[in-house]
A and B are shown apart, each in its own frame.
Chain A
Amino acid sequence: MAFKQITSPHAHAAQNTTKVMQLVLWATVPGLAALTIQFGWGSLINVVLAVVTAVICEAAIIKLRKRPVAFYLRDYSAVVTAVLLALALPPLAPWWVVVVGSMFSIVIAKQIYGGLGYNPFNPAMVGYVVLLISFPIQMTTWITPLALLPEGVSHPGVVESLGIVFAGYSPADGVTGATPLDSFKHSSGLVVDQIYQNDPLFSQAAFAGVGWEWVNLGFLAGGIVLLATRIFTWHGPVAMLAAIALMSVIFWDGGSSESPGSPLMHLFSGASMMGAFFILTDPVSSAVSNRGRLVYGALIGVLVYIIRAWGNYPDAVAFAVLLANFAAPFIDNYTLPRTYGHTDRRRATEKEEDA
């Protein structure tokens, strides 16, 4: 009788990377649904376009690298990157914007570094920032939320949307508009109460900004599912949201004309919730330990607020995440957990001679 020599442990939990990625995809559904309800078919078209591009690019590069294509495509990581990028892009953006961004995310930000597990930066956010810097007009043209569409105007249907995306048709008047963060940023000189009264984006909102509050709630719901299924720990998202809340309380300034906005607006506008639960939780490019993720999340929260309040961009999740990606290995060096039997936490940079 001869048997296989296999290393322990022999038992294995049913979890695998493909399932993790698929669960993340399912968790984006509430957010995607909210985007589609509030802003029309554009986000769905973005998702399809980005996924197709990403999968083709991933397959091509894996082929070039002489690796088994099916094995690597099966991990679904390219699909996750594409979906996250697509959700961040303005609905009804020209097709080439989506394709260029998706391609850049996969080819440059992911595969050139060695593929899944080796990318130091969040690939979706790299793609997003490249697009934001290269095509500022297309990237800042957002759609008017459902509730604020002018009388008699509705979001374009599927066919019309495809025409806008692929053939460059112009959407009807009133279909495009500013985002709450954008609007708030450009209402300088007014105190917060005035902005909230004058701007329908705020005056007709339930608590943060028309349309966007629902999108953020959608991503929050998806995030809670992922937390409950232990795909990631609470440390990163909670630290980021707490940092944003804390910063916006500290600098609230009593709602004066200099005020950068309320905590509710910052937490439920722009990409706050998506960033907290879907972007900074990318484990590959984040800090690794729970303590590290607290620092990492807080850093992103602070950076998001600083750029929103005093920077040139109305939203800043992508920039903040990329900056924190740079800092992650550094954070890792100083946030090791205390091991059983040791009185102190150690530094990763300790040499044996120092010990």
Chain B
Amino acid sequence: MTKTWVTPGGVHPPENKHQSLTLPIGALPIPEKLLVPLSQHIGAPANACVKVGQKVLKGQKIADATGSVSVPMHAPTSGTISAIEDRPIAHSSGMSAPCIEITSDGKDNWIDHEGIADFEHSSPQALTKIIADAGIAGMGGAGFPSAIKLSPGHRRPIDTLIVNATECEPYITADDSAIRERAAEIIEGIGILSHILGNPSNILIGIEDNKPEAIAALQPHVADSGISVVSFPTKYPSGGEKQLIYILTGKELASGTLPADAGMVCINIGTTYAIKRAVVNGEPLISRVTTMTGNACGINRNYETLIGTPVSHMLTHSEFNEAACSRLVMGGPMMGFSLTSADVPVVKTTNCILAPSYSEIPDDEPAQPCIRCGMCAEACPASLLPQQLFWYSQAEDHDRLEAHNLFDCIECGACSYVCPSNIPLVQHYRHSKGEILKAREEKVKSDHARERFEFHQQRMEQAEKDKEAKRAARREAAEKAKASTAAASGAGSAADIIAAAQARAAAKKVSPEQQQAKFERSIAGAEMRVQMATEKLAEAAADQTDEQKNILTAALDGAKQKLEQAQARLADHIEQHKELDSEQVK
């Protein structure tokens, strides 16, 4: 016997598994219309690659994966695409989402497909691509694209492969029956996984001891294969990934990390079968084993169900009595969600349709006050204090909720199951988680806004400071200049200040060179006028009167005088600049 570890808490609800195990896995007639939702997995919805009216074959791709975390969809049977539009899907909120509707032609004609007989000679990358292209997403419940799990990338190498055959929820027997009937193919699928992951040293199939037939079916196939079938006492929720890892390895996954961070890959056993079919047979994931059970149905058994089969189609073929049905659940009685309409389709994660009678699962009784009896804390597999979480959830005290590790709650429902006051505890936790996530997002947003605002403020302040600094520098420079001119003129009298100002103004207007050129131009002008006046006087000397001669002589004298003044100004200017230059040299 392999050693196993015991998780805290847990409950033992009535198993109710025998009802659906009396018959082998059956097949339903092909429904007239199938509805394939574009989002059946965690990640981005697939993108339809067919058009309304187009004919498709069974297994033909009808939607492409978008982005890295996404899977493609394939036609579950042959027929015609009759609609691509929003339809109600199986979701706890009863929402609608994009779906592709296929009207079956009843022929169920396969598209050409071919598998790989000897996968050992294929590279892990090639096999992972086949798995991705086959549209395989975790069939245990979450629907995480399997190919991503198998490409741990930068994370540490995988030394442990855990195959989850726990199936701890009451009523569900999809994995149990699949193991009984398809053990060889399942083990082959595990072999493919092992090859992809580089043959991890530990390969463990975790299974509860309430499935002796399944364990017996696996045993002959695992001999000398390095695969261990580990059975452990039945307790809900042993099949939770974190719980199963602890039961099989005694290790806890640190809060907020993935199994790959601890060198493990944990995969549902139904998924290993789908992987085998994809790799060896070349078949994409277009059907799965789904348990149809509950006393409101005359027939309880497992069906190999085409993805996209309306739940109503399953009910019709299972002698369903609507009047007797207390609620319709997709999944198990602990974590499944109620369906408001039976028109929604079976998807890749649908392991069970439960149609219980009123005596099996009666309507909920009204909740009584919490008396903090602590039965929930005894049942919690994560060692939380559900009664305190409930208290703080009602008080919307987010700090306390986080301090009490609300986000480590796996929503298994064990607390609500045992609550003597019928309080829908899990519902309160889901609500609070949503509120806290919303508050976190808002906080990020408001932090951004505050940062922006603060940066803006800072920038404005800095600009103001810079301006002020410039002003101060100018003021200082002006004062210095004033002081230096005052020192240069010695006495610093008012006249000197005016002269200095005038000089500055003059200096500002023209440079000394321009001034000199101006002076030289005026001298040249004056010389010309003197020459003209001399010539006129010489002409007049011949034939003009004395009076005219006198006028001309006066003009000549005036011109001569101006010339002298201009020459004097130039001389002054040159003198002045010599002084300035010598001063600068000093």
A residues neighboring B (CB under 8 Å):
1-13, 15-17, 19-20, 71, 75, 77, 115-118, 230-233, 283-284, 286, 288-290, 332, 336-343, 346-352, 355
Measured CB to CB, the nearest residue on chain A to B366 is A71
A-B contact sample (6 more), CB < 8 A, given A283-B374, A351-B403, A352-B402: A10-B327, A10-B329, A71-B366, A232-B374, A283-B373, A341-B256
**Are B420 and A19 within 8 A (Cβ)?**
yes
**Are A230 and B375 within 8 A (Cβ)?**
yes
7 contacts across the A-B interface (CB closer than 8 A) = A16-B420, A288-B377, A290-B374, A337-B377, A340-B382, A341-B253, A348-B403
Measured CB to CB, the nearest residue on chain B to A12 is B417
Q: What residues of B have a CB within 8 angstroms of the CB of A286 in the complex?
A: 372
Q: A5-B94, A12-B417, A351-B399 are in contact. Are A337 and B385 (CB under 8 A)?
A: yes
From the candidates A8, A75, A288, A337, name the one contacting B336 in the complex (CB within 8 A).
Answer: A8
9-residue interface stretch from B337-345, B455-463, B476-484: B337-345
| C-alpha gap A17/B242 in the complex (Å) | 31
**Are B405 and A342 within 8 A (Cβ)?**
yes
| Min CB gap B415→A, angstroms | 9
**In the assembled complex, B312 has its CB within 8 A of some CB on chain A:** yes
| C-alpha gap A351/B382 in the complex (Å) | 21
| C-alpha gap A341/B430 in the complex (Å) | 20
**In the assembled complex, B202 has its CB within 8 A of some CB on chain A:** no
| Min CB gap A230→B, angstroms | 7
**Are A10 and B338 within 8 A (Cβ)?**
yes
**Are A340 and B333 within 8 A (Cβ)?**
no
**Are B387 and A288 within 8 A (Cβ)?**
yes
Scoring B residues 388 to 421 as 1 if CB is less than 8 Å from chain A, else 0, what string do you get?
1000000000111011110010010110111011
**In the assembled complex, B141 has its CB within 8 A of some CB on chain A:** no
Scoring B residues 335 to 374 as 1 if CB is less than 8 Å from chain A, else 0, what string do you get?
1111111110000000000101000010111101111111
| Min CB gap B405→A, angstroms | 4
Measured CB to CB, the nearest residue on chain B to A3 is B328
From the candidates A3, A12, A288, name the one contacting B385 in the complex (CB within 8 A).
Answer: A288
**Are B341 and A3 within 8 A (Cβ)?**
yes
| C-alpha gap A4/B328 in the complex (Å) | 8
Q: Is the interface of A mostly helix, strand, loop or mixed?
A: loop
10 smallest A-B Cβ distances: which pairs?
A: A9-B413, A117-B369, A341-B255, A11-B333, A339-B405, A350-B403, A3-B328, A7-B427, A10-B333, A340-B382
8 Å CB interface, B292-343 against A? 312, 315, 322, 325-329, 331, 333-343
| C-alpha gap A296/B420 in the complex (Å) | 24
| Min CB gap A324→B, angstroms | 15
| C-alpha gap A3/B294 in the complex (Å) | 15
| Min CB gap B10→A, angstroms | 12
Best-surrounded residue of B416, B420, B430 (most CB of chain A within 10 A): B420
From the candidates A6, A7, A348, name the one contacting B404 in the complex (CB within 8 A).
Answer: A348
**In the assembled complex, B11 has its CB within 8 A of some CB on chain A:** yes
| C-alpha gap A286/B374 in the complex (Å) | 11
Q: A10-B327, A13-B11, A346-B403 are in contact. Are A341 and B413 (CB under 8 A)?
A: no
| Min CB gap B379→A, angstroms | 9
| C-alpha gap A336/B334 in the complex (Å) | 26
From the candidates A17, A348, A352, name the one contacting B421 in the complex (CB within 8 A).
Answer: A17
**Are A8 and B413 within 8 A (Cβ)?**
yes
From the candidates A2, A10, A12, name the one contacting B341 in the complex (CB within 8 A).
Answer: A2
| C-alpha gap A3/B356 in the complex (Å) | 12
| Min CB gap A289→B, angstroms | 6
**In the assembled complex, B157 has its CB within 8 A of some CB on chain A:** no
**Are B388 and A11 within 8 A (Cβ)?**
no
Q: What residues of B have a CB within 8 angstroms of the CB of A10 in the complex?
A: 327, 329, 333-334, 336, 338, 354, 356, 361
Q: What residues of B have a CB within 8 angstroms of the CB of A116 in the complex?
A: 368-369, 371
**In the assembled complex, B13 has its CB within 8 A of some CB on chain A:** yes
Q: What residues of A have a CB within 8 angstroms of the CB of B405 in the complex?
A: 339, 342, 346
Measured CB to CB, the nearest residue on chain B to A19 is B420
**In the assembled complex, B254 has its CB within 8 A of some CB on chain A:** yes
Measured CB to CB, the nearest residue on chain B to A346 is B403
| Min CB gap B40→A, angstroms | 19
| C-alpha gap A341/B8 in the complex (Å) | 13
**In the assembled complex, B422 has its CB within 8 A of some CB on chain A:** yes
**Are B408 and A340 within 8 A (Cβ)?**
yes
8 Å CB interface, B480-537 against A? none
8 Å CB interface, B1-16 against A? 8, 11, 13-14
Q: What residues of B have a CB within 8 angstroms of the CB of A15 in the complex?
A: 375, 418, 420
Q: A13-B417, A117-B369, A288-B385 are in contact. Are A339 and B408 (CB under 8 A)?
A: yes
Measured CB to CB, the nearest residue on chain A to B240 is A340
**Are B371 and A17 within 8 A (Cβ)?**
yes
**Are B417 and A11 within 8 A (Cβ)?**
yes
Q: What residues of B have a CB within 8 angstroms of the CB of A339 in the complex?
A: 255, 382-384, 405, 408
| Min CB gap A83→B, angstroms | 16
Q: What residues of A have a CB within 8 angstroms of the CB of B334 in the complex?
A: 8-11
From the candidates A3, A9, A13, name the one contacting B426 in the complex (CB within 8 A).
Answer: A9
Q: What residues of A have a CB within 8 angstroms of the CB of B384 in the complex?
A: 337, 339
Measured CB to CB, the nearest residue on chain A to B246 is A340
Measured CB to CB, the nearest residue on chain B to A6 is B338
| C-alpha gap A347/B337 in the complex (Å) | 34
**In the assembled complex, B424 has its CB within 8 A of some CB on chain A:** yes
| Min CB gap B18→A, angstroms | 16
**Are A7 and B340 within 8 A (Cβ)?**
no
From the candidates A6, A115, A283, name the one contacting B364 in the complex (CB within 8 A).
Answer: A6
| C-alpha gap A337/B421 in the complex (Å) | 23
Measured CB to CB, the nearest residue on chain B to A75 is B368
| Min CB gap B444→A, angstroms | 13
**Are A340 and B381 within 8 A (Cβ)?**
yes
Q: What residues of B have a CB within 8 angstroms of the CB of A341 in the complex?
A: 242, 252-257, 382, 408
Q: What residues of A have a CB within 8 angstroms of the CB of B341 in the complex?
A: 1-3
Q: What residues of A have a CB within 8 angstroms of the CB of B328 in the complex?
A: 1, 3
Measured CB to CB, the nearest residue on chain A to B411 is A8
**Are B420 and A20 within 8 A (Cβ)?**
yes
Q: What residues of A have a CB within 8 angstroms of the CB of B370 in the complex?
A: 117
Measured CB to CB, the nearest residue on chain A to B392 is A348
| C-alpha gap A352/B397 in the complex (Å) | 12
**In the assembled complex, B170 has its CB within 8 A of some CB on chain A:** yes
Q: What residues of A have a CB within 8 angstroms of the CB of B255 in the complex?
A: 339-342
| C-alpha gap A232/B373 in the complex (Å) | 7
**Are A6 and B333 within 8 A (Cβ)?**
no
From the candidates B369, B378, B404, B414, name the one contacting A336 in the complex (CB within 8 A).
Answer: B404
Q: A12-B416, A117-B370, A352-B402 are in contact. Are A7 and B13 (CB under 8 A)?
A: no
Q: What residues of B have a CB within 8 angstroms of the CB of A340 in the complex?
A: 8, 242, 246, 252, 255, 381-383, 408
Measured CB to CB, the nearest residue on chain B to A9 is B413
Q: A1-B341, A339-B255, A341-B408 are in contact. Are A347 and B366 (CB under 8 A)?
A: no
| C-alpha gap A233/B376 in the complex (Å) | 12
Measured CB to CB, the nearest residue on chain B to A114 is B369
**Are B369 and A118 within 8 A (Cβ)?**
yes
Q: What residues of B have a CB within 8 angstroms of the CB of A17 in the complex?
A: 368, 371, 420-421
Q: A10-B334, A10-B336, A339-B382 are in contact. Are A348 and B400 (CB under 8 A)?
A: yes
Q: A8-B413, A12-B417, A12-B422 are in contact. Are A3 and B400 (CB under 8 A)?
A: no
| C-alpha gap A11/B331 in the complex (Å) | 12
Q: What residues of B have a CB within 8 angstroms of the CB of A118 in the complex?
A: 369
From the candidates A7, A9, A284, name the one contacting B371 in the complex (CB within 8 A).
Answer: A284
Measured CB to CB, the nearest residue on chain A to B329 is A10
